[in-house]
């Protein structure tokens, strides 16, 4: 069965520190991948997406993610975290040619001064 | 409007009542999705529409849940004989089609007393 795993439920980082949020998927076919962010009381906002080509993709708000097929991973990174980055982050994976996307369970990011 | 609009934003109702949730997608988006997000949890897929057809209803939890879409636009999610476990935020998203990013509304927070 297809699945998406975000192993870290909750992460705390200091403001200005680097960040890496993990996402692993289990799919038999070529995936397409997204990262979304959700602030409290709001819907999800797209940070970045990967379909093909360069495996390092840049997104909004200074985020980037790297697709590693050999590790079935699509980890999200940011070099220097800002207090406004505190939110919940969701990884999502779909199969090429299919509409349905499966979301991970999310990682809640806390930023401390 | 510019984004996905959901109404009402909040709904409180008594157990056993029927509720209807509305989603207005972004104009021109052929695909529409419904998700449920329980407190502190990830997104649970309910159903998606391609045009007015629902190719995948596999996520609907029970026959108390139904959804329809008309005019390749507005969609309504109906929950009959509500139960307390139906309490959650119901999120709607739309996209241009297969493999395209989803754009989310802010959700309807449903509370069953």
Distance from CA of A46 to the nearest CA of B (A): 7
Name the residue among B41, B55, B107 with its Cβ closest to that of A43.
Answer: B107
pLDDT mean over B61-87: 96
- Give the integer Cα–Cα distance in Å for B4 and B24: 6
**Alpha carbon of B46 to those of A54, A60, B2, B56: distances in Å?**
33, 28, 24, 9
**Taking CB atoms and an 8 Å limit, are B45 and A45 in contact across chains?**
no
| Burial (Cβ within 10 Å: 0-12, 13-18, ≥19) of residue A33 | buried
The strand pair at A107-112 and A10-14 is best described as parallel
Q: What 3-state DSSP class applies to B104?
A: strand
Residues 27-66 in A contacting B (C-alpha not used; CB under 8 Å):
32, 34, 36, 41-46, 49, 51
CB of B48 within 8 Å of a chain A CB? The answer is yes
The pLDDT mean for chain A works out to 92
Name the residue among A34, A94, A105 with its Cβ closest to that of B42.
Answer: A105
What pLDDT is attached to residue B1? 52
What pLDDT is attached to residue A43? 85
Top-confidence residue, A48 or A29? A48
Contact of A90 with B37, CB cutoff 8 Å: no
């Amino acid at each position: 069965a297809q699945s998406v795993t975000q192993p870290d439920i909750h992460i705390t980082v200091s403001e200005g520190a680097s960040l890496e949020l993990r996402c692993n998927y289990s799919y038999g076919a070529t995936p397409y991948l997204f990262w979304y962010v959700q602030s409290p009381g709001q819907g999800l906002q797209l940070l970045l997406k990967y379909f093909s080509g360069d495996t390092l993709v840049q997104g909004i708000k200074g985020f980037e993610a790297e697709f590693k097929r050999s590790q079935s991973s699509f980890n999200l990174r940011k070099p220097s975290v800002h207090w406004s980055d505190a939110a919940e982050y969701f990884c999502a994976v779909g199969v090429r040619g299919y509409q349905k996307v499966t979301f991970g369970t999310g990682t809640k990011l806390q930023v401390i001064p | 409007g510019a984004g996905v609009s959901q109404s009402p934003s909040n709904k409180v109702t008594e157990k056993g009542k029927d509720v209807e949730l509305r989603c207005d997608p972004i104009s021109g988006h052929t695909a529409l999705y419904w998700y449920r997000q329980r407190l502190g949890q990830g997104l649970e897929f309910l159903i998606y529409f391609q045009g007015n057809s629902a190719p995948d209803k596999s996520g609907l939890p029970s026959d108390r849940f139904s959804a329809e879409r008309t005019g390749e636009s507005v969609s309504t999610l109906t929950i009959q004989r509500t139960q307390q476990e139906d309490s959650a935020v119901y999120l709607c998203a739309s996209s241009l089609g297969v493999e395209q990013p989803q754009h989310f509304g802010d959700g309807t927070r449903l509370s069953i007393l």
